[in-house]
Amino acid sequence: MLNQRVSNRRCWQNGGMSKSKRKRTPKAVLRLPDLEQSKSAVLNSLASQSSQRSYDHAIREFIEWYCSEPRLAFNKTVVTGYPHLS
């Protein structure tokens, strides 16, 4: 029991994880569940129903375009290549 308390205290003092475990490499290719989770986060942050509908429509179109062909990565170049941004 005492060892568990000491271990928890160290974990708290170290911020919960070692530095090597904190860094996560971003995913190179996003899949539909990743995009749906991001979409939900964005829509839940909007208070206006009208904004939610508009953003939902735009995000659905983007996801459809992104998933329509194989992509090597999800990055600025891919996003700026989206035809509706031109």
> 20: helix, coil or strand?
helix
Tens of pLDDT along 14-43?
444 445 555 666 555 667 777 888 899 999
**One-character DSSP codes across 48-65:** -HHHHHHHHHHHHHHHHH
From CA 16, how far away is CA 19, in angstroms rounded?
9
pLDDT at 20: 53
Measured from the Cβ of residue 37, the count of other Cβ atoms closer than 10 Å reads 11
